Amino acid sequence: MHMRGGGGGSTGGGGDMTKAVYDTNDDGIVDNSEKLEGSTKAEVQNHAPQAHTHSATDITSGVFNSLLFPRIFISGTDIYYYKDNLGTSIFWSNDAEKTTSSTSYVKKKEIKLTYTPDTTLKIYWEMYSYVGVLCYATVYRNGIAVGTEKTDTSGSYTAKIDTVSGWSNGDLLQLYVKATSPRTAYVRNFRILCTLGGCFNNPVNQDP
């Protein structure tokens, strides 16, 4: 098709295309050729990707990277997922007993959160010292106190729970402990608690 400018020259026929109508920005490209569904060429080139989802049935091959699914973990032959921080099931544990006679806080337990299933964690441990003698424990993150100080004078292991927010991948979940001189403070069973979601049984090999 012939496109003519707005000046003199050919008078053209009824099918002629004029710049004034079809190339209003005078860049030599028909205006509607620069559009896709109402967007300009620049808008199409620079558009933000749209969020979308797939159902599980759409995934028919390949191997999942477990690091992309931090709430899923395997125990024995069973697969579980971390549902929330309200329950009493064990998500992770560091159970070995540790002791201190220090009257200043010292780090006695630590879990490195290579990933964290939640930004708020329900943290459990057990502690004791001698009957009537105070011992103390506080949850720390990366060497900084973030929990509520817990104490005990019972003379036997007593459960303590503290729910602390603000956790991120790579954080150090720590328990600092101190005793009352000249006695010793004991701690054990440092754990992250949760509600576990449905369990799926893996196949079991049963060769004869």
Residue from 121, 189, 117, 118 nearest 160 by CA? 189
pLDDT beyond 70 at 63: no
Residue 7 domain-assigned (yes or no): no
Q: Greater confidence, 99 or 12?
A: 99
pTM of the model: 0.62
Burial 21-47 (b: 16+ CB within 10 A, else e): eebeeeeeeeeeebeeeeeeeeeeeee
CATH number for the domain that contains residue 152: 2.60.120.260
Looking only at Cα atoms, what is the longest distance across the chain?
109
- Same structural domain, 114 and 182: yes
- Same structural domain, 25 and 76: no
Q: For 40-55, what is each residue's pLDDT tens digit?
A: 667 767 777 777 777 7
Q: How far is it, in rounded angstroms, from Cα 185 to Cα 182?
A: 10
Residue labelled with tokens 């008078």: 11
Within 10 angstroms of residue 85's Cβ, the number of other Cβ atoms is: 20
What is the rounded average pLDDT of the residues 79-100? 90
Of 33-37, 43-47, 97-101, 128-132, where does mean pLDDT reach its minimum?
33-37
pLDDT value for 183: 94
Helix or strand (DSSP H, E) at 86: strand 78-94
163: Cα within 13 Å, side-chain hemisphere = 10
pLDDT value for 13: 54
pLDDT tier for residue 116 given thresholds of 50, 70 and 90: confident
- Same structural domain, 33 and 129: no
- Same structural domain, 92 and 131: yes
Q: Work out the mean pLDDT of the chain and round it to a whole number.
A: 81
- Same structural domain, 36 and 79: no
User: How many domains does the chain fold into?
Assistant: 2
Residue 63 domain-assigned (yes or no): no
pLDDT beyond 80 at 119: yes
Residue 28 domain-assigned (yes or no): yes
- Residue 33's domain comprises 17-46
Residue 205 domain-assigned (yes or no): no
- Same structural domain, 148 and 95: yes
| 78, two tokens | 């069973």
Interacting residues of 25 by C-beta distance below 8 A, sequence separation 6+: 31
pLDDT value for 123: 98
Residue 3 domain-assigned (yes or no): no
CA separation, residue 5 to residues 11, 15, 97, 116, 158 (Å)? 10, 14, 89, 66, 91
pLDDT value for 133: 95
- Same structural domain, 76 and 168: yes
β 17-18/3-4 pair status:
parallel
- Same structural domain, 149 and 181: yes
Whether the Cβ atoms of residue 115 and residue 92 lie closer than 8 Å to each other: no
- Same structural domain, 82 and 36: no
- Same structural domain, 136 and 186: yes
Q: For 129-141, what is each residue's pLDDT tens digit?
A: 999 999 999 999 9
